[in-house]
Chains A and B, each alone.
Chain A
Amino acid sequence: MSLPGLNLATTPSQTQVTAAPTSAHKQELAANTEYRFEASFTHPLTIKLLSGTAEIFGSELGPLTPYTFRGTKAAVYTWNGCSLEIEGTAESEYVAEETTMMNYANAHFALEGMRDEAAKNNDSGPRVLIVGPENSGKTSLAKVLTSYALKMDRQPMVVNLDPREGMLSPPGSFSAAALSSILDVEKGWGSSPISGPSPVPVKMPIVYHYGMSSPEEGKLFKPLVTRMALAVTSRLEKDVASRHAGFIIDTSGAISHGKGGIYENIDHIIAEFSVNLVFVLGSERLNSDLTRKYANRKEEPVVVIKLDKSGGCVDRDEAYMKKLRQSQIKSYFFGDGGENVLYPTLTFADFTDLNIFQIQQASNDTSAFRPGDDDDEDVYGSRPIYEKMTPTTLLQNTLLAVTTASPNDRQDVIRDSSIKGYIFIAEVDEAKQKLRVLSPQPGRMPSNAMVMGSFPEDVPGLLE
């Protein structure tokens, strides 16, 4: 499959072309309205704030600064009214007068009250979990709340537990980062460190590899949540600014469906992170189920609040999600084009150089029939989590997570270890027992344990 949009990013000549002025038009926005747009992967849309104030999911647009969007569905909202200059062709665009921003801003100011309180008592700020079905605006809400907290000089922690869309890392991973300064208007969250200066302050995430598309799959979700919670909690013990600001957990829509009114994974997250506030988007049933369970709990009550789902939320079909993932992977290795090109290294490695562990999906098949079974038994007991594999052509075009564990570590240690990053297997030569490997970092291939999952899927066009 060819992905023309992805190929644009790396060739400077083409980005040059897109910089030429094409069809600019002016878009006036009255106060408290938003301009919703969808920009395709192939035809970028450039938005410039001419006057007034404007924000995209809470991140303010700098005056007269062109922002370019590819493969983006978003809205430019204005509290005060603004005039925009828009260049390029949107796949769809309209102005909406009814938005949920006041609702979200109120949520922010309510959180601010809790943060002030926390700062006064040197306590932990609000520990927020956002849940709701697919495309209900969870990630967008997380961005708005984070951006607003940053505007008030807070340093909130954000945790992403949705493998379908990465935060500061490719999809298939879970990550957490304390954020400061500003988010990135174009890229949403921003970028993890690169070996040179970055025009937007970089964010420093911790990343775990999940390797499957849904938290409801397999047996890795809960232990990884536990691990992540441990890391975040430890961090917040030392990091005073982030402790007071609290954290916001974004999740995958999959955990919000539940089985017979039971939301195992939500329960697990609430327990492990000591969540004390849940924002529910887009599902009245979920709201009432969670309220019933948590709101009246005697010890450690959890406040459950339903927020409005934005009318701007777009259902993103699988084809779009796949392109989005592939562009996230592309920018992990190659940057975002233009002035932000990155140079990964393409090297050869022997089969024996890499210690690859493949996630055992098979264990999943039976689990559905044994709802009451004990995780620990499977994980630490007889059934292995991974199977060590020798490279085969199956590896071609896949991503491998480079863990911080040694290949000799126990499997649960490998599972719980955060990762250094991803490498991409460009080619497998079974005859010569050699691999062509794309690595973000130059230098020798790490001998660490590497994990191969079923997700994200192959990226055949990555090197084209």
Chain B
Amino acid sequence: MSITSAEVAADFKDALQDLKTNSRPEISNLTIIAKENTEHAQAISGELEKHIRTTRPDWKLPALYVLDSIVKNVGTPYTVYLGRNLYRTFMDAYMVMDPANRRAMDGLLKTWKQPVPDSMDTRPVFAPEVTRDIENTLIKIRTHTVQAQQTLPQRPHGLPPRPTANPMANGPWRNTPTPPQGHPRFAVPNDPRLRQNVAQPNPYGSPAPHQFTTPTPQPFPMGPPLGELESVQADVAQLIASLAPSDMKRQSLLDLQTLLNNQSLPNVPPLTSQQLQAIRAQIQALTPSPAPAMPQYAPPVPNLPQPFLQTPPQNAPPSFPPAGAALNLAQILAAAQARPVVPQSSTPVNAPPAVNLADILRQVSVPAQSSTTTAAMPFFPPPSFPPVPPPVVQPTPPPAPTPTNNLAQLLASLPKPASAQAPQPPSLPLGLPTGGPATATPDWLLNALKGLPQSASGAAFPPQVPASSTPMARQASGATNTTERVEMTSASLKQPRFHLINKLYGARPNVCATCGRRFASTPEGKERKARHLDWHFDVRDSTANRSGVHRSWYIDEREWIDYKDFDESSPPDAAQSTESAAAPKEDPKEKYVRVPSDISKRVPCPICQEKFDTNVRWHQAANDFVWMDAVEIKGRIYHATCWEEFQKGASIPAPTTPDSVLGKRKAERDSPASGKKIRAF
């Protein structure tokens, strides 16, 4: 009857071990375990903390989502137990995370400072003392990073130098006003409430975190007040997180996010405080109602393009929302656009008069490869940018936009770095016009991104949205929509045609986070992606026990000629539907059982004593080899036909020869779903 805490904790631990992605079912499952075992909350909390501490950095975030889900959905006593060590749990993980995951953690922390949305309880998820300490430390880390960055030499063109084995050896703190007092460089500062604690060694050793850039470093000392950029970034991240993945607005915001993150790049001058505020105003205008910033935890949806943005709003459909559900930013902006006063007469190709954020970012994101100009298609990202005209000198930036201004204008007014193409000597940036009021044209963006690390534009995994103000229309382009024939001649194949690349990328903006496969954002594309994700899920599901898995014999010539390859994302084809329609009463011969991986279970049918060898097929839908005409009853495998006969009370049938089994196969069953006979085993 009574289970011990240790047993419950062990179960919980086992379930945690399998959590490698933000898998909704797994996180719900873990939450349920926690909910049903509140009397063992202490043991479970301990196990969860230990897991977060010890698991690989890339598996920590999913575990933190479990923590999040438990404290929000179950609450006490977990908030108490987990709250005690939250500082350590959070900071230890934070130190080894990459920037993307850190942003996600920032998002989590933010929601912990607020009450659980829609709940009667108005208290924040965690007590303010708990979250405040974390927040203070995060600010310190950012400060340190900024200072450390200033002392780092500029990266030369090409490969950056390898980080040295011991970052301490380089003395990155030499010039910092506030060197860490005896702590390893990135060790978590002590929990202020646990001062007796000696700084715990980072479980991954101090060099590891050194490799990651911190989320919001600011290379320039003259930037806006510390924290302002971060808070705008947080707002953007939050808004993004509240949008459905398919929302076009989200795409543009992702680009904006990248732009903000790019503040860390060496030759991008900082945004002014004014500009940040303007962006913020825009973002707030776009933020829906007074709805809670981070709504009640909805377990993250697996396989969204960006794992760190996977906390969708509570009411939003978990995945694959209808395309039209949300307005796109471009449209919103277009509507809100009074009369765009974007001063870019000097860059006609890059800036069509009706600019929106999407346009700007899209154009920016395909920098030049060479100096050849191919401006044939003004509404596609030009393959290479025309020589940049001398910057239009504008002594002051435009006044901070009022809320009715749009992001496009705002972005157009952002500062311009001096030069982007040549690597800059370390001293130069300090001499730059730091306010960046030199020009108001967005070509600084073009320049900045040209030949520069591009985490920027690309950032959004589904990259550029098409230039059209009705992006959806353009995105449908697929294999069939070949407006431009490329001639098959040596000369023709040498011409750059960067605009065509959109067919491989932008036209299929919906990326599978697991394998990178792309899908169109059309209803069909969404269906395909859904089937594809199901397939991943099934495969993951059945990879658990792999003992005995072996290479199979190849199929023979005849089978191969008849074989039809099957794309896991395609709709069940006509043949298959015929099959299911033709066999409504479940033809026993269509029943199958996965070939047992345990060889000792590969025994003949207990009824007719025939082996199953001749019934082995590759079953597409099962994505596995199966025994056809087989059922498993109480752990034993029978021919489905034998079992049926047996059930009817008929006498044991004469052993079926392989040929008779195959001979009875209906012609229309030559479909992928029925697989092909594999002469195996």
Chain A residues within CB distance 8 Å of chain B: 19, 21, 23-32, 50-53, 59-66, 78-83, 85, 93-95, 97, 102-103, 105-107, 109-116, 148, 151-155, 169, 177-182, 185, 192-207, 231, 234-235, 238-239, 241-242, 277, 303, 305-307, 332-333, 335, 339, 341-345, 402, 404, 417-421, 440-443
Contacts and interface: CB of A to CB of B under 8 A. Distances in A.
Given A30-B452, A80-B457, A442-B681, A207 B554 contact: yes
Interface in B555-607: 555-557, 560-569, 595, 597, 599, 602
B24 interface: no
Given A21-B204, A94-B159, A80 B365 contact: yes
B455 A193 contact: no
Contact of A51 (B258, B478, B492, B551): B258
A238 B517 contact: no
* Residue of A201, A207, A402 with most partner-chain B CB within 10 A: A201
B369 A200 contact: no
Contacts of A79: 366, 498, 501, 504-505
Contacts of A192: 551-552, 554
Contacts of B516: 59-63, 65, 182, 185
B508 interface: yes
A23 B625 CA distance: 40
Interface of B: 56-58, 96, 98-100, 158-160, 162-163, 165, 204, 207-208, 211-213, 258, 305-307, 365-367, 369, 449-459, 461, 463-464, 478-480, 482, 484-490, 492-498, 500-501, 503-505, 508, 511-518, 535, 538-540, 542-543, 546-557, 560-569, 595, 597, 599, 602, 613, 618, 623-625, 679-681
Contact of A148 (B504, B515, B569): B504
A61 B514 CA distance: 9
Contact of B160 (A25, A32, A342, A442): A25
A116 B482 contact: yes
A62 B512 contact: yes
A88 B415 CA distance: 38
Contact of B595 (A27, A82, A195, A199): A195
A369 to B, nearest CB: 35
The interface residues of chain A, by DSSP majority, are classed as mixed
Contacts of A182: 515-517
15 contacts: A19-B56, A32-B367, A62-B512, A62-B514, A81-B365, A82-B455, A106-B495, A151-B518, A181-B567, A202-B623, A206-B555, A339-B546, A341-B546, A420-B553, A440-B552
A8 to B, nearest CB: 18
A199 B539 contact: yes
A193 B610 CA distance: 25
Nearest to B613: A443
* Residue of B165, B511, B539, B551 with most partner-chain A CB within 10 A: B551
Contacts of B597: 195-196
A238 B562 CA distance: 7
A279 to B, nearest CB: 10
A395 B504 CA distance: 49
A197 B567 contact: no
Contacts of B485: 110, 113
B263 to A, nearest CB: 15
B180 to A, nearest CB: 22
Contacts of A402: 553
Contact of B551 (A203, A305, A441): A441
Contacts of A52: 454-459, 461, 463
B159 A95 contact: yes
Contacts of B624: 195-197
A23 B543 contact: no
B367 A30 contact: yes
Given A106-B486, A106-B495, A197 B542 contact: yes
A39 to B, nearest CB: 15
A234 B554 CA distance: 18
B208 A24 contact: yes
A193 B497 contact: no
Contacts of A442: 550, 599, 602, 681
Contacts of A195: 548-552, 595, 597, 624-625
Contacts of A341: 546, 549
A155 B672 CA distance: 15
A26 B212 contact: yes
A419 B551 CA distance: 14
Contacts of A420: 553-554, 556, 679
A106 B492 contact: yes
Closest 6 interchain pairs by CB? Answer: A81-B454, A52-B458, A28-B453, A62-B516, A440-B551, A196-B549
A200 B103 CA distance: 30
A194 B550 contact: yes
Nearest to B536: A199
